[in-house]
Structures are given as structure tokens and as C-alpha cells.
Amino acid sequence: MDNLERLRHRIDVFFKSESKTEFGEATYKYKKLSSVWAEIIPISGRENTIDGNSVQTSVTHKITVRNKAIKEPRNDMYFEFRGQR
């Protein structure tokens, strides 16, 4: 399958940016770096019942982007797709 057909989801990439407060202290905020095309594949899901008859769900996804779509990827970056981080 061609990459153009697989990369059909538009996701936003955020990075941690350092700024200074009025007192000169360092603080960190996340800023949007760019929007890139990606392929999102659900890998696994799990559902647990916890105290109070509540249900806790967990889903893992694999995200694939083009090789040079994100310049200098770092561990403090995150993706956002349809309002979900």
C-alpha cells in the first residue's frame, strides 16, 4: 500500500517550551510544533473493573509518520488527535 493512502490522519505535534515567570523562575508549557499526516493503528485494548463497579479502559496505538515529518523528535513531545492526547 502506498504511503499517501496509509497516512490519512492529521495529528498535531506538541513540544515542551521553557519560559520565565515574572520572578525569573523557569516554567514549562506545551506549544504546538506542527500538524503532520500519520497512520494510527490500534494495537491492544484492556478493560478492568475497579472499586465501586467502575470500568477502567486502556488502549494502545501505533503511530507512523514520514521519516522527516518531525525534525529532531524528543521524548518530551506528544501527539494530539481529535482532542485526545
Top pLDDT among 61 and 1 is at: 61
Q: Is the pTM of this model over 0.85?
A: no
Residues 6 or more apart whose Cβ sits within 8 Å of residue 66: 3, 7, 36, 37
Conformational region of residue 72, where left means phi above 0, alpha means psi within -120 to 50, and beta covers everything else: left
Give yes or no for residue 1 having a pLDDT over 70: no
Which residues touch 57 (CB under 8 Å, ≥6 apart)?
45, 46, 47, 48
What are the residue boundaries of the structural domains of the chain, listed by start?
Answer: 3-80
Euclidean distance between CA atoms 79 and 38, whole angstroms: 10
pLDDT tens sequence across 26-85: 999 999 999 999 999 999 999 989 888 899 998 899 999 988 899 989 999 999 999 999
